[in-house]
Structure 1
Amino acid sequence: MSESVAWLTARLAETAPGLRVESGAGALGQYAYDASNYRVPPRAVAFPRSTGDVVAVLRACKETGVPLTARGGGTSMAGNAIGPGVVLDFSRYMNRILDIDPAAGTARVQAGVVLDALQSATALHGLSFGPDPSSHSRCTLGGMIGNDACGNRSVRHGRTSSHIEALEIVTADGVRAVADRTGLHPVDPGDTDHVARLEADVRRLIGDNLAPIRTELGRVPRQVSGYQLHHLLPEHGFDMARALVGTEGSCAVVTAATVRLVATAQASALLTLGYDDVVDAAEDVPEILRWNPTAVEGMDEAIVATMRARRGPDSVTGLPEGRAWLYVELDGDDQATVNTRAAELLDALKAQGRMTGGRVVESAAERRSLWRVREDGAGLAARLVDGGESWPGWEDAAVAPENLAAYLRDFRKLLVSHGLTGVLYGHFGAGCVHVRIDFDLATDTGRTATRRFLGEAAALVVSHGGSLSGEHGDGRARGELLEVMYSHRMIRAFAAFKEVFDPEGLLNPGVIVAPAPLDADLALHQIQPLVTEFTFPHDEDGFAGAARRCVGVGRCRSDVGGVMCPSYRATGEENDSTRGRARLLQEMVRGETVQDGWRSTEVRDALDLCLSCKACSSDCPVGVDMATYKAEFLHQHYKGRIRPRSHYSLGWLPLTSALAGYAARPLNALLRGPLGRLLARLGGVTTQRRIPAFASRHALRRVLRNAKTGEPAEVLLFVDSFTRAFRPEVAGAASRVLADAGLPCTAEDGLCCGLTWVSTGQLSVARKIMARTVAHLDNGDERPIIVAEPSCAAALKRDVPELLGSDAARRVADRVHTFTGALTDLAAPDWSRPALPDNVVLQTHCHEYATFKGRHPADLLRRLGVGKVDEAEGCCGLAGNFGFEEQHYDTSMAVADLALKPRLDGIDQDTPTVVVADGFSCATQIDHLAGDRGIRALHLAELLDPAADQAAQPGETS
């Protein structure tokens, strides 16, 4: 810790007792990044709980000369949310909605409020906040104000600045004020003279620069670059609130805002339009705008292909033929009228002759799916299906919508001339184009070429009358290029405006005014590949390339939607997010802030609460697979060292459970008593859970013998260690159901997928276990392999080939199906199951959700006739060994509280309801949560078992 930071921390302990300040390598490594190409390690990170904390930090920074950067969700793509001094993270604690006034149509919110939280609260009053960036599930209002963010419906609602009534700010010297549409006002009477002088200096500056402000600013709808000084012109009433929007925290720190809300439309329609390329799509934009749409969004085929590859072919439906698409949304008060307008617009566009196809999307689920593709554009474009990487830096240019086609035509020529490829998407209706480009940012030659391209791109967009930035701000990516867009006099006016507010240049230095070179502080660097156990076949640089997948878009910080990231949802800490962990792994590979490599305690601690649920491998737009990274790290970290006790007790469970089967009855009795609790403590296992009862070694043989049909086997039923040891009756039920579905099976017992050794990072042992299993299964038999336990199916499907890296492993993996997948893809066409329950509460295993895309139990249950499937979307919290480990019990229960427990608590005892959970962990967690109420989870096989109405053959479990 530097002397200035030590003094600052000591000072804050006096002036802001209770303020959380972190300066360890873990925090500095995570907060060195946002979603841009840049890396600037801070000296400390502070987490204010009140405006008083913010005042204290600013005053301490002024006293020590330490810079300060305000940060919301950390999703800025231009390098706006990183800085070399103190980073203020508003998202952790200053995230409250202070007031909603439905009559006035306003809300007052703290800077760290996530947009979706505001939207959920205002929706109760039929209102919403108009701007809606694609990052709405994790971006904060403070960040939106900093960048003057827009969003998908900016055609209708414009930029954030249009919806700001007042900003509550703290100046660089720690003075509180309110900026509104009439000027600046002090909060404390003692600061009246100070604030009056500040306002007078601004008025003088505007008066001296009326001509350039009137001629150079506010020319196109999305002109975000620079400062928006035109809001201070006399004819605009000296609107200080709007002038401070888009200053990227370089003039003052926003702690709260009063925002204007808009009425929610009563009806809407979505059209999807196909084109041969994005230029053709852009040519139709002027005609579309005549129809007063709420949104006109565009994207090209690379994003769609990547989405389908990552989440399954059914993840994108409803698009007409084409290689580029527009989404057009219309709204109104009456659905019939809106539908008529949509049909008329479609006819008008057909007459234009550019479309390859178009349709109105009727299904609400299909609409949600399509919007998700567009909203994940930045991440999907970052790591494409062919493995190529692309980067921001020129991702945010904007022109007038009528100039968009001409600009895109010239821009694509520019890309070709530089040998670059760009993935295009964005707000076509507002003339704002997002593009990620395959820059080479890791070498000096590549960086020089990137600088040359950016200079020419800036000149090109200016020649089309456009703006360098249309909503992401200038940041470190474009600040240096402002001189291409603005006159010297305007650049001096920007500098003077910042100096009035921040004379010592402490607020977010290096952006907009006195900008850092655009190729300084780039995060990518040349690396030496690491020797690892996993092969990381989809990443060119192995483990380092895999960790580099994270580009900071922060979808893992969402509280709703998908399954990722359960630990972040439980704790709210960046350290417990997929992004936070990935950034620390990047720092470990880099070897600067985190210097201990595989032995790093900072990385170990960040990975500690990762449940290895694998949801990120599906939900993360760039396909980060933190479960695999954690397994590799644990293997390397503990190589040649004593491991945590639970790695032995739980990691070796397949072996110990097989031995336990020889004495199941006395052992189960022993484990239920005091000695069992002592053994649990010695093994690092929580005593707050019952240890599941072991089945005798004869039980599986008995149930399989009773399930035999005598028909020739069409498939192999892989009896995993969990099924064999704890619920052999599932294997019997699975055999009967498969036979009933036209898939008579042969049971394969005595093999193991190696999952428990993988999840505890014992990869050398896992390799041996997997190699034995593959050698047995890859014997010329090409029959499908059906696995009742989803986590074991996922291990065979993904972990085995990625750890062994052999053709044999890949052949085996290609044959693996979950039980759900087998019934979905392989069952006889006319197979059905009568007399299913009307209501099912479903817990889908995270590994099944992530690995077997488009083959989920909920879809199968609905197809088979279950009336209502109430799915607990999220992790159960037990997650294999995680929830049994003593130190993780509380987090496990907190994760269960997010989705599973509310579903179980909501079961009406008067309404017959069946709970289904194929995962052994999930079923165990359900028993822990609701077993005392008589609620037990069935495996899907037990639910569909033709013999379900007969007495089942139980295993010896007592």
Structure 2
Amino acid sequence: MTATTDILQDFHSTLRGLDASAVEILDDSRLARALYSSDASIYRVVPAAVAHPRSTDELCALVTAASHVGLPVTTRGAGTTCAGNAVGTGLIINTSAHLNRILSLDPESATAVVEPGVVQDWLQHAGAPHQLRFGPDPSTSTRCTIGGMIGNNACGPRALGYGRTGDNIVDLDLLTADGHVTTLRPGDLTTPFAERLGDLADANLATIRTEFATFSRQVSGYSMEWLLPERGRNLPAFIAGTEATLGIVTKTTVRLVREAPYGLTAALGYPSMPEAADAVTALLPFSPVACEGFGRRIVDVVSRAGRPVPDLPRGDGWMFVELRGDDEAEVASRAKDMVAASGCLDGWVVSDPVQAAALWKIRADGAGLAGVSLDKPAWAGWEDSAVPAADLGAYLRDFESLLEDHGLHGLPYGHFGEGCLHCRIDFPLDQSDGPQRYRSFVTEAAQLVARHGGSVSGEHGDGRARSALLDTMYSPDALSLFGKVKAILDPDNVFNPGILVDPAPLETNIRTHESALSAITISHPEFAADVHRCTGVGKCVAHTAPSAVMCPSYQASGLEVDSTRGRASVLKEMVNGTLIDGWDSPEVERALDLCMACKGCARDCPTGIDMASYRSTVLNEKYRHRLRPRSHVTMGLLPLWERLLNRIPGAPALANKVLAVSPFAHLARWTAGVDQRRPLPRFQPSSRLASKQATSARTIVADQETPTSPATKTPSTGSTSPTRRSGDRGDVVIWVDSFSDMLEGSDLPAVVTVLTDAGYRPKVLSDDVCCGLTWITTGQLNGARRRLRAGLAVLAPLADANIPVVGLEPSCTTVWRDDALRLLPDDPRVGRVARNMHTVAEMLEAANWVPPSLAGHTVVAQPHCHHASILGFGPDKRLLEAAGAKVTVVGGCCGYAGNFGVENGHYDFSVKVAQHDLLPAIEDAGQQAIIVADGFSCRRQTSDLTGRRALTFSELFASHLPSHATR
């Protein structure tokens, strides 16, 4: 069914008659339709409209009106489904925006009543004070909603111990297509449709008893077994896994579990991953809560990504098994017996929670990297098949042979305890025969899984990806039951048409294939491929983890359009070219307007999205032949204006005096496009030229006496700490960027002090080297390339001479370590310069420097976003902690973000971002706390909003040295 303009107009009119206020939450703009045209699957389906109901009454009105005019309805939570069941041609109803309350939590009955948009982690946090939790724990728990979990019958690793979502539902309220809400309880067949479902089950007992619930992860299709009399006619459990094809869950009472207090992790090694899978049946009698398996390739991927890999038991295939219980000795004894019975090559039992967490992190990191570590993009589509656990080893061997036969690649891992295998595969979806090759593989894979008695989906649902494959695992009689159920509950096919019942061919509406011949794909193939890397898993719409940056704009607004995923969705539609017009479309402008180019997504996004670089490309193309905003000329070319000012003796001081006069400051802000509430920075004469250590690169290279250069790799924590000034560590060159050079607040003297204290001979680079940062952030990429090439002429000889270079401003240092590699991919000098560019903390840690004591001090450290995301704040944090300080590292962005926070129209949002992480951290630490921020933007934001001065890392340590010599 395709929604037409006439149907949409009729829908508006009908909705207005039912609930005039509900029209306010309806959005049929091109922007909204672009944002919700994809989920975490491979599919693209543009909806007619999107609604964000604020109450159950509005939700009922939406469904009633849609049903009346024949507008299809698709319900959506966080949109993290991999199966394509959260996209549709009609009305998308987003329950996560407002219908997200925990209505009650009863510790005595261990139940909670929740609305469908409640995020699973919110429920976990609410239950934690009572030692309660919701059992299933999918990997997307930081953003997936309970409604979505019910729709797919979600599981996760600990479903082995605590059951699937459907196993943990007490009752639920279901909104049907007639606009009525019915409470469903186990055994209650008093409603007309419930009675008819019971009759349907009674008429097909043999089919249901033989084809359904054959093993725990048989998630595909409708769970007809719950309608059987011996299953208690459990309608709430039956609704789980119906993928919103029968109605919308408006409220649910869920069962919570008490997690046993004592837990152990057993790490078991086997010769191969299939052999690890073979051993599952030997482990299950020991009642594991979780049993996860993976192979050598996953470990190698984690290692290559620079993630920590602790020692593992001998082998090339592993299983991590979690056991829990109320008696510590009993759990330990059970773990010992399990290892003995496991048949492993080598096995350990880990009781220390920190060591156990390090082991489980390998599994988590590997799962996140598995989809982006292949030579080609890897996709969902056949990512959660399942077989009975006893058959998993054989299935895994056959599956890997099937991949090889089709010339495809993937990195399998999964919930081995229940026979569920995860694997994203490098389907060539952008090629002309890609969809056909995709269909060929998954069809054979479905036949394979059926031969092993399995299910095409083990926890993600069928959706558009697998509904057409259900005939491989179910008989015609079983399939006919799905249609009959649909006819009872949704006779007019309003809810999620084409899912589970009467599906379209599974290769229909594959998004990368649809955009393969678009104008932008042809003219900018790399850009098009990059934006399509977003698979929609939605880590960017999760609550920020303590160490995460992504996505500060979403954290501040809570709007999909301000998330990395939302922006990628809009850019994908721009690339496609049928919904959004091009580089200069208002939808693209809105999507990127509040992007602060923090690069948090470049590190935190599992698929490696770098929205900052995409934003620069869009701005570059948008203004290629157009007049730019004033701020692009003033702030975008700021280093030029600074240099012009410095050529006139006394000009910086004169400029400061003039700008201290209110009318002149007002005029300067207006001219520059700066918000009138922003204090202006003060200028200073060039700090690099004023330095006693100022030397040209040519002189430094010519004068060097083959010094011993420090290792650029961070030393291990087990290295012996030397005494201060432990010998001559050779020359190190300090590159002074434009911000540190000519804007007041440079920490150059402090950097010289601490590097000298560590045994280096610091030289200040007198050459005028600009990285082009402000050109990059304003999308003037040709100008940025010119400055980078000029800088390479100075910095490359230093790299070739093995003389390390230290950057001061994190964002400028990041340009050489990241942006330059992208902007000048064919210049071999860039890689050498990138490897030779370091932070102060990296150089100090490489020298095994012993920092002065900061014992008794509380430090609030705000890493610049680029520092945290690209450079890495680990060395800084370790040195602060080694000095004895109590350190709080602020997660997220300060909100200033270069020119973003000063531009007209961004000030209020900039403050809102600061209020999310930075300002609360400063307030909680108290007035005596020391604020540390190496980023010029971060220091300005701190000063502007708190009136307090933030020190740089070097200033803090230099001020605590007993002298600027040896100690």
TM-score relative to the length of structure 1: 0.92
Give SS of 2:838's match. Answer: strand
> Mind listing any 5+ residue stretches in structure 1 that lack a counterpart?
186-195, 536-540, 953-958
Contact 1:534 1:802 in 2 (8 A): no
Give SS of 1:820's match. Answer: helix
Q: Deviations over 1:42-90 (max 9, x none)?
A: 1111111111111111111112111010001101111111111011111
Is the alpha carbon distance of 1:556 and 1:698 closer, same or farther for their aligned partners in structure 2, counting shifts above 3 Å? closer
Q: How does 1:207-222 map to 2 (within 5 A)?
A: 207-222=202-217
What is the CA–CA distance in structure 2 between the aligned matches of 1:383 and 1:712, rounded to whole Å? 39
User: Aligned residue for 1:812?
Assistant: 833
What is the CA–CA distance in structure 1 between the aligned matches of 2:17 and 2:493, rounded to whole Å? 25
**Equivalent in 461, 464, 468 of residue 476 of structure 1:** 464
User: Aligned residue for 2:451?
Assistant: 463
What is the CA–CA distance in structure 2 between the aligned matches of 1:63 and 1:253, rounded to whole Å? 16
**Equivalent in 763, 769, 778 of residue 746 of structure 1:** 763
Is the alpha carbon distance of 1:838 and 1:339 closer, same or farther for their aligned partners in structure 2, counting shifts above 3 Å? farther
User: Aligned residue for 2:951?
Assistant: 938
1:670 aligns with 2:675: no
Letter in 1 for 2:733: L
Contact 2:852 2:961 in 1 (8 A): no
Q: How does 1:62-461 map to 2 (within 5 A)?
A: 62-183=67-188, 196-310=191-305, 312-314=306-308, 316-320=309-313, 322-335=315-328, 338-339=331-332, 341-349=334-342, 352-355=343-346, 358=348, 360=350, 362=352, 364=354, 367-368=356-357, 370-375=359-364, 379-384=368-373, 386-461=374-449
Contact 2:273 2:294 in 1 (8 A): yes
User: What's the offset of the Cα at 1:788?
Assistant: 1.5
User: What's the offset of the Cα at 1:570?
Assistant: 0.9
1:924 aligns with 2:925: no
Letter in 1 for 2:814: A
What is the CA–CA distance in structure 1 between the aligned matches of 2:746 and 2:83, rounded to whole Å? 56
Is the alpha carbon distance of 1:856 and 1:5 closer, same or farther for their aligned partners in structure 2, counting shifts above 3 Å? farther
What is the CA–CA distance in structure 2 between the aligned matches of 1:376 and 1:500, rounded to whole Å? 44
Is the alpha carbon distance of 1:712 and 1:94 closer, same or farther for their aligned partners in structure 2, counting shifts above 3 Å? closer
Is the alpha carbon distance of 1:534 and 1:803 closer, same or farther for their aligned partners in structure 2, counting shifts above 3 Å? farther
Give SS of 2:583's match. Answer: helix
User: What's the offset of the Cα at 1:413?
Assistant: 2.1
User: Aligned residue for 1:694?
Assistant: 683
User: What's the offset of the Cα at 1:930?
Assistant: 2.1
Give SS of 1:694's match. Answer: coil
Letter in 1 for 2:807: V
Identity of aligned residues (%): 42
What is the CA–CA distance in structure 2 between the aligned matches of 1:91 and 1:376, rounded to whole Å? 27
Q: How does 1:869-888 map to 2 (within 5 A)?
A: 869-888=887-906
User: What's the offset of the Cα at 1:378?
Assistant: 5.5
Give SS of 2:790's match. Answer: helix
Is the alpha carbon distance of 1:790 and 1:274 closer, same or farther for their aligned partners in structure 2, counting shifts above 3 Å? farther
User: What's the offset of the Cα at 1:447?
Assistant: 2.4
Is the alpha carbon distance of 1:532 and 1:928 closer, same or farther for their aligned partners in structure 2, counting shifts above 3 Å? farther
1:580 aligns with 2:593: no
Letter in 1 for 2:223: Q
Contact 1:566 1:895 in 2 (8 A): yes
Contact 2:687 2:742 in 1 (8 A): no
**Stretch of structure 1 that moved more, 75-84 or 851-860:** 851-860
Q: Superposition RMSD on alpha carbons, in Å?
A: 2.6
Contact 1:700 1:728 in 2 (8 A): no
User: What's the offset of the Cα at 1:793?
Assistant: 0.7
Give SS of 2:934's match. Answer: coil
User: What's the offset of the Cα at 1:713?
Assistant: 5.3
What is the CA–CA distance in structure 2 between the aligned matches of 1:298 and 1:133, rounded to whole Å? 16
User: What's the offset of the Cα at 1:942?
Assistant: 0.7
User: What's the offset of the Cα at 1:568?
Assistant: 0.9
Contact 2:103 2:115 in 1 (8 A): yes
User: Aligned residue for 2:710?
Assistant: none
**Stretch of structure 1 that moved more, 458-467 or 4-13:** 4-13
Give SS of 1:692's match. Answer: coil
User: Aligned residue for 2:715?
Assistant: none
Letter in 1 for 2:632: H
Contact 2:851 2:957 in 1 (8 A): no
What is the CA–CA distance in structure 1 between the aligned matches of 2:75 and 2:521, rounded to whole Å? 38
User: What's the offset of the Cα at 1:307?
Assistant: 4.0
Q: How does 1:412-561 map to 2 (within 5 A)?
A: 412-525=400-513, 527=516, 541-561=525-545
User: Aligned residue for 2:740?
Assistant: 723
User: Aligned residue for 1:783?
Assistant: 803
Is the alpha carbon distance of 1:853 and 1:279 closer, same or farther for their aligned partners in structure 2, counting shifts above 3 Å? farther
What is the CA–CA distance in structure 1 between the aligned matches of 2:391 and 2:923, rounded to whole Å? 56
Letter in 2 for 1:689: R
Is the alpha carbon distance of 1:920 and 1:306 closer, same or farther for their aligned partners in structure 2, counting shifts above 3 Å? farther
Give SS of 2:508's match. Answer: coil
> Mind listing any 5+ residue stretches in structure 2 that lack a counterpart?
701-724
**Equivalent in 5, 15, 23 of residue 18 of structure 2:** 15
**Stretch of structure 1 that moved more, 664-673 or 873-882:** 664-673
Is the alpha carbon distance of 1:711 and 1:236 closer, same or farther for their aligned partners in structure 2, counting shifts above 3 Å? closer
What is the CA–CA distance in structure 1 between the aligned matches of 2:635 and 2:128, rounded to whole Å? 46
Q: Deviations over 1:148-188 (max 9, x none)?
A: 00011111012000100111121012111111213367xxx
User: Aligned residue for 2:707?
Assistant: none
What is the CA–CA distance in structure 2 between the aligned matches of 1:705 and 1:772, rounded to whole Å? 19
Is the alpha carbon distance of 1:273 and 1:840 closer, same or farther for their aligned partners in structure 2, counting shifts above 3 Å? farther
Contact 2:601 2:611 in 1 (8 A): yes
What is the CA–CA distance in structure 1 between the aligned matches of 2:521 and 2:214, rounded to whole Å? 54
1:601 aligns with 2:586: yes
User: What's the offset of the Cα at 1:846?
Assistant: 1.3
User: Aligned residue for 1:191?
Assistant: none
Is the alpha carbon distance of 1:545 and 1:305 closer, same or farther for their aligned partners in structure 2, counting shifts above 3 Å? farther
Contact 2:120 2:146 in 1 (8 A): yes
Is the alpha carbon distance of 1:533 and 1:617 closer, same or farther for their aligned partners in structure 2, counting shifts above 3 Å? farther
User: Aligned residue for 2:578?
Assistant: 592
Q: Deviations over 1:869-925 (max 9, x none)?
A: 11111111111111111211122112112211111011234xx43221111111111
Contact 2:851 2:879 in 1 (8 A): no
Contact 2:688 2:765 in 1 (8 A): no
Is the alpha carbon distance of 1:747 and 1:96 closer, same or farther for their aligned partners in structure 2, counting shifts above 3 Å? same
User: What's the offset of the Cα at 1:369?
Assistant: 5.2
1:681 aligns with 2:701: no
**Equivalent in 756, 760, 780 of residue 778 of structure 2:** 760
Q: Deviations over 1:19-39 (max 9, x none)?
A: 411212222122111111111
Contact 1:530 1:544 in 2 (8 A): no
User: What's the offset of the Cα at 1:504?
Assistant: 0.8
User: What's the offset of the Cα at 1:276?
Assistant: 3.9
User: What's the offset of the Cα at 1:344?
Assistant: 4.9
What is the CA–CA distance in structure 2 between the aligned matches of 1:644 and 1:157, rounded to whole Å? 57
**Stretch of structure 1 that moved more, 718-727 or 614-623:** 718-727
What is the CA–CA distance in structure 2 between the aligned matches of 1:868 and 1:795, rounded to whole Å? 31
Letter in 2 for 1:592: T
Aligned residues: 920
Is the alpha carbon distance of 1:836 and 1:776 closer, same or farther for their aligned partners in structure 2, counting shifts above 3 Å? farther
Contact 1:302 1:381 in 2 (8 A): no
What is the CA–CA distance in structure 1 between the aligned matches of 2:463 and 2:810, rounded to whole Å? 45
User: What's the offset of the Cα at 1:270?
Assistant: 2.6
Give SS of 2:512's match. Answer: coil
Contact 2:315 2:345 in 1 (8 A): no
Give SS of 1:256's match. Answer: strand
**Equivalent in 614, 620, 637 of residue 652 of structure 1:** 637
What is the CA–CA distance in structure 2 between the aligned matches of 1:947 and 1:702, rounded to whole Å? 22
